[in-house]
Amino acid sequence: MKVAFFNAKSYDRYSFDLANERYQHEIVFFECHLSHETVSLAIGFSAICIFINDYLDAEMLEILAKGGTKLIALRSAGFNHVDLASASKLGVAIVRVPAYSPFAVAEHTVALILSLNRKVHRAYNRVREGNFSIEGLLGFDLHGATVGVVGTGRIGAIFAQIMKGFGCTLIGYDAYHNPSCLDQGMTYVSLPELLAQSDIISLHCPLTPDTYHLIDDRAIAQMKTGVMLINTSRGGLIDTQAAIDGLKSGTIGYLGIDVYEQESDLFFEDLSNRVIQDDTFQRLLTFPNAIVTGHQAFFTRQALANIADTTLSNITEFEQNGTCLNEVKVEKAIAAK
């Protein structure tokens, strides 16, 4: 198929060019985001491929459909950046990458925990300046700590397995009790119990209307003083202003996030020569006990290879069969919301 790739970074080009040696699609890469201003570039392409910070509303989908686009290939698991109902009415199929490397995300979660606990970010800067004092760098043993895992799917289960290796006590919150987590000795509890008992809370659940701002003022008030809160899942799970208030009060002793609820205008771009206008985000960066990474938890060689292969396989399957196992069905997607 003739495929237009939007928001294509150098690493996207490399991984997709490599994978396409097998699939032989006609790929054209565009560095720009897909937007109202750039959607005309996609006219004439039977398929387009977009990332999580490209948005497709009803107007853009209509332009694409009229231009001959039959397939939207998402190189991500999430699909809330596409108007699914409009796509369905226009006969435009949506396919996604449901999983690429749960190990990558789980391991980055642990990296945030270790960095925050042992103040690696602060120690790094001190040593570079010739300051070898260890005042203020006191951490705690992970062994024996209680780790609360909110969402125990594939990523949450792998994260739990790693933390079990540190000697942590595992508690979980999920409607489905994952057998692999039970095998690790996890005890499932209610969300209020998890918030009250955990020394470390890690979020690994999808973003739905029910989980939007799952961590808000009320939830934070139920946590232990000095709790460590980690989010490598979806930015909207945390009310950022509530998290800031929690950091100021000391209830949140450590905050590590790889996602942010207003990240679409920030992450994946070099803004080092600009003044960032998001005051809430800028306030978040002032806390010495907070670490923010720019949605890089997925970013490993293996994950990129899996994303490229699955995406191109989805396109091939749709081209050959008119449907795809990884197609997002609008009825199920709306029900899930």
- What are the residue numbers of the active site? 234, 263, 295
Cα–Cα distance for residue pair 31/12, rounded to 1 Å: 10
Sign of CA dihedral 130, 132, 138, 139: positive
Secondary structure element (H or E) that encloses residue 200, with its range: strand 200-203
Residue 108 near residue 296 (C-beta atoms within 8 A): yes
Concatenated DSSP letters for 276-333?
Answer: ---HHHHHHTT-TTEEE--S-TT-SHHHHHHHHHHHHHHHHHHHHHS--TTB--HHHH
Helices (H), 187-259: 191-197, 217-221, 240-249
170 and 185 in contact (C-beta within 8 Å)?
yes
CA–CA separation, 280 and 133 (whole Å):
32
> Count of CB atoms within 10 A of residue 55's CB?
16
Compute the distance between CA of residue 333 and CA of residue 337 in angstroms, rounded to an integer: 6
The half-sphere exposure of 275 on its side-chain side, counting CA atoms within 13 A, is 2
* Residue 101 to residues 94, 131, 158, 329, Cα–Cα distance (Å): 21, 38, 11, 23
Question: What's the gap between Cα 102 and its chain centre?
Answer: 11
